[in-house]
A and B are shown apart, each in its own frame.
Chain A
Amino acid sequence: MLDVNLYDEEHHPSPLQATWHEFKQSHIAVTGLLILGIFVIIALLGPLLSPYDPSTQHTNTLLIPPAWDDNGSILHVLGTDALGRDMLTRLFYGTQITLFASIFTVFVALMIGMLLGVIAGMASGLRSSFVNHILDILMLTPTLLIAIIIVAILGTGLTNAMMAIGLALIPRFVHVTRDFVRQEMNKDYIKIARLDGASQRQLFVTNILPNMVELLIVHGSLAISVAILDISALGFLKLGTQTLQPELGVMIAEGLSTAYIAPWNILLPGLGIFLMVLSINIVGDGLRSALRNRLTH
């Protein structure tokens, strides 16, 4: 007799495991996840690794090119900027600020958006119409306009920039949550739970939310890439992070004055933003298709 009974397999992969299994099929998505992991590690550990301070100015080492250049120095692997600050150190700190500020912004926006989305999705009649139209209008408003209004009222700063971007992101999450909740509310399992006497809150927390988590993760990851682009754009326009903080967009703006003789000052921070956004987009796309594959199988 065989020891293994093929027909009595105990293990069923959980939805999360199934999604991960689908995600692994795409090598590009896994590579994206690796790059993103490297960025997160840089953001977490980078400041510990570097011997320099991001804002200390070394007047005898101005505009040193990266180490692979003939005039480069191994002491400053990626060169220095116009004030003699070490580029690599600033990139570490910049990644930290840009990445974590974006993740935090998206997290807060996601929480608020989800809450509003549930209200909008479960409501009906005039109230629903009103809330939804207001949100649509907010979604139409370009991020930069919201940022300009907030900067004009409250002044510049990273917190204000994050607030503006969060405000612009909330409607996306509301949209996603609302459509999903509305779609689920008409399904049979919700009706059964309702017949069992579940309240609106119980319906959402125990029945709808577990089904929605993955969707929110996909949209959240894509929103992080948007947030990174926006935070660095605001930093670049001097509307967000101020000059003292080494944010990646601010670094590009500072590199502008010496762009011709020291192009690495704008190329390297930009490359950082680009790779970060690219890896997040790849991961988000991979997650989305993994989810789609899992649900269609």
Chain B
Amino acid sequence: MITTLIRYFNLICLTLLVLVLLSFSLAFFFPGDSAVNLLGAAQIADQPLLSQAVNQSNVLVQFWYYVQALFNGQWGVSFATGKPLYEDIMQLFPATLELSLYAVTLALVFGIPLGFVSGLQYRKKIDHAFMSSSMVMYSFPVFWLALILILLVSLQAQWLPMSGRLSLLYDIPHATGFILVDIALSDIANKQYAFHDAISHLILPTLSVSFIAFAVFLRSTRRSVVDVVSTEYIKSAQTRGLTASNIFFKHILRNALLPVLPLLAVQISTLVTNVMIVETIFSWPGIGDWLIQAIYERDYPAIRTGIMLVAMIVVVFTLSLECLSQLIDPTRDRFAYARR
């Protein structure tokens, strides 16, 4: 177990180093002066480490200072606004995390139980219904789905707001960045109205993201349940005369959940893409919307830092999930690459 932990820790560190190296080299690949691409302006007074990195002649020394600057939160400034990137990103990042968290939770809470229902009813009517509807669901282009939701729910029926995070009526101080937590912490007058407003803003983006993730979770859970149910040990459990509920809870449930965790890890990158697109459509003030704005404005420092950060988060989440799944189930060894 310790070996697994060390190996994954090693892998995460190496990957992060590669990502930092990539973001550093992006400054040279982007059009324009590499020093300006790193800093975001010709001169920055309050970011000494990053300025020092630019002034070095040796690329390796530059990289060393760059890594130090990253650790100290000196990420350069944005071309477009001139504000430090670190503060910008720290403001935006929780919004994205909040949206993804709710969407994944929703998809998991509905996807996995329904996947079990579908898998246990293999090749029956319910299974066919679930399978065909989930096939339809994951064929939806996420941006089209979001637009249809806006057209129907916001424009036609006018039930829910179509963009933003909170109505301008409420002035919530930025504490954690999670809007619901912030409202709970704040001491404004009409708290429940603010809650209501925040949730009504959340519904449509969350639904659009979780719609597709739900279908994928349902299908993969079903597959793994079907695989488990058809194994010999379930048959032998049945011949021993165990009750259906006993077989389900003792044998099927745990074994079927095992392969779901690594599948979850694979889904993270698709999820991030979908979250970024949905953020743009709903003007959700998160990192995805910000990154896409940055590419429209050719804001190279912002692109460099934003991409590095999002990729880091994806890598850390995915590898931790894989590490967890291997700790739970040591039989599946991902490090068999070298041995074969």
A182 and B276 CA atoms in complex are apart in Å by 36
Interface flag for B155 (CB, 8 Å): yes
Judged by DSSP, the binding face of B is: helix
With an 8 A cutoff between CB atoms, is A67 at the interface?
no
Residues in A whose Cβ lies below 8 Å from that of B136: 278
Q: B20: CB under 8 A from chain A? A: no
Which residues of B from 124 to 150 have beta carbons under 8 Å from A? 132, 135-136, 138-144, 147-148, 150
List, in ascending order, chain B residues with CB within 8 A of A263's CB. 151
Contact A233 B268 (CB under 8 A): no
Within 8 Å by CB of A182, from B11, B151, B270, B340, lies: B340
What A residues does B280 contact at CB under 8 A? Answer: 237
Q: Digit string of B273-297 for contact with A (CB within 8 Å is 1, else 0)?
A: 1001100100000001001100110
- Chain B 295-327 interface mask (CB, 8 Å, partner A; 1/0): 110101001000100110011001000000000
Q: How far is the CA of A152 from the CA of B335 in the complex (A)?
A: 35
Cβ of A36 under 8 Å from chain B: no
B138 and A281 within 8 A (CB): yes
A249 / chain B contacts, CB cutoff of 8 Å: 141, 143
Which residues on the B side are within 8 Å of A295 (C-beta)?
none
Number of interface residues of A (CB under 8 A): 47
For residue B90, CB closer than 8 A to chain A, the reply is no
Q: What's the Cα separation between A148 and B304 when bound, in Å?
A: 10
Q: Return chain B residues, CB-CB under 8 Å to A229.
A: 141-142
User: Complex: how many Å from CA A282 to CA B131?
Assistant: 11
- Chain B residues touching A, range: 35 or more
Nearest residue (CB) in B for A120 is B337
- From A148, A236, A274, B307 is in contact (CB under 8 Å) with A148
A132 touches B141 (CB 8 A): no
Q: How far is the CA of A251 from the CA of B301 in the complex (A)?
A: 31
Q: Given the complex, which residues of B lie within 8 Å of A141, measured CB to CB? A: 269, 311, 314
Q: B26 contacts which chain A residues (CB < 8 A)?
A: 149, 152-153
The reply to whether the CB of B272 lies closer than 8 angstroms to some CB of chain A is yes
Determine if A243 is an interface residue (Cβ-Cβ < 8 Å): no
Chain A residue nearest to B268 (CB atoms) is A140
* CB–CB B295/A148 < 8 A: yes
Q: Are B338 and A129 in contact (CB under 8 A)?
A: yes
> Which residues on A sit within 8 Å (CB–CB) of B139?
225, 274, 277-278, 281
Given A142-B310, A237-B292, A278-B135 in contact, is the A124-B338 Cβ separation under 8 Å? yes
**Smallest Cβ-Cβ distance to B272: which chain A residue:** A142
Chain A residues with Cβ below 8 Å from B200 are none
B233 at the interface (CB under 8 A from A): no
Contact A270 B141 (CB under 8 A): yes
Cβ of B255 under 8 Å from chain A: no
| A144:B277 contact, CB within 8 angstroms | yes
| A145 to B273 CA separation, bound complex (whole angstroms) | 8
Contact B269 A140 (CB under 8 A): yes
Chain B's nearest CB lies how many Å from the CB of A295? Answer: 15
A277 to B277, CA, bound (A): 18
**Are B276 and A144 interface neighbours, CB within 8 A?**
yes
Least distance between A175 CB and chain B CB atoms (Å)? 10
Give the residues from 117 to 171 in chain A that come closer than 8 angstroms, CB to CB, to chain B: 124-126, 128-129, 132-133, 137, 139-145, 148-149, 151-153
8 sampled A-B residue pairs with Cβ under 8 A: A133-B11, A144-B273, A145-B310, A236-B143, A237-B143, A237-B280, A270-B147, A277-B139
